[in-house]
Amino acid sequence: MTDELEQLASCMFNNTVPPSWASVGFLSMKPLASWINDCNDRIDFLEGWIATGTPIKFWFSGFFFPQAFLTGTLQNFARKNQIPIDRVSFTYVLNDHMSHEDIKERPDDGVYVYGLFLEGCKWDYKEHCLAESDPKKLFQEVPLLHLIPEIDRKKPDSGIYITPTYRVLSRQGTLSTTGHSTNFVINLELPSRHPQAKWILAGVACFLALRF
């Protein structure tokens, strides 16, 4: 038995992802059993895309490199309107009155995404904004998010929290060949009635994950 096979067998026994798999796979902190389930779900998502065409909604956590998906969405909008892409940015709309299962057709512009979770706070469905976490609840799913490209958009001066979005809980990553972090994805603008400093002290973050 080679050293690599011995290491593979040891990882399977300990329910950890073998380094040879992790080095070419998606970023994850899950044990091997959950990692395999996640991998199968990602394959099903992509196979469905190939078989039936572009989805009307996207499981955001299922992308290997979600940053490229976001850039591609902006590029499609820029080409459609024949404008430079550097004039286009996202407006973020949370549809907390419906779930991704209710979506029956794609939007005119932008994309519907789901599969994001909040850490350090929760979404208040009555006030439609961020709120203090419930006791003993570390994470909460983010409502259906509509990413809408907008030309020459001006960012709101108040009423939002700039929420960093990560692929995994560690909030650490390395720079890829494209110059992007392998972990950080985007800063979401989520409605909030609390001052920005309050949430920063609380360590609020939005991250991408499927299971814990």
3-state DSSP of 153-165: CCCCCCCEEEEEE
Q: Are residues 178 and 157 in the same domain?
A: yes
Q: Are residues 28 and 109 in the same domain?
A: no
128 φψ region: left (φ > 0), alpha (ψ -120 to 50), beta (else): left
Q: Are residues 124 and 31 in the same domain?
A: no
Q: Which of 26, 53, 80 is the last residue of a domain?
A: 53
Q: Are residues 93 and 190 in the same domain?
A: yes
Q: For strand 58-59 and strand 116-119, is the pairing parallel, antiparallel, or unpaired?
A: unpaired
**Domain carrying residue 104:** 66-208
The distance of Cα 77 from the centroid of its chain, to the nearest Å, equals 20
Domain presence at residue 59: no
The pTM score is 0.86
The CA–CA distances, whole Å, from 117 to 84, 152, 176, 196, 202 equal 32, 29, 24, 19, 16
164 φψ region: left (φ > 0), alpha (ψ -120 to 50), beta (else): beta
pLDDT digit string (tens) for the chain, length 212 residues: 788 888 989 999 999 999 999 988 888 889 999 999 999 999 999 999 999 999 999 999 899 889 899 999 999 999 999 999 999 999 999 999 999 999 999 999 999 999 998 888 889 999 999 888 888 888 888 999 999 999 999 988 888 888 888 888 776 666 666 666 778 888 899 998 876 655 555 556 666 554 44
What are residue 5's phi and psi, to 5 degrees? -65, -35
- Token pair 């419906």 is found at 98
Q: What is the CATH number of the domain that holds 137?
A: 3.10.490.20
Other beta carbons less than 10 A from residue 152's beta carbon: 8
How many domains are there within the chain?
2
Q: Say how far apart CA 66 and CA 61 lie, in whole Å.
A: 8
Domain presence at residue 61: no
Domain presence at residue 60: no
Nearest to 141 by CA among 199, 202, 191, 211: 211
pLDDT of residue 212: 41
Token pair belonging to 120: 């350090």
Q: Are residues 47 and 16 in the same domain?
A: yes
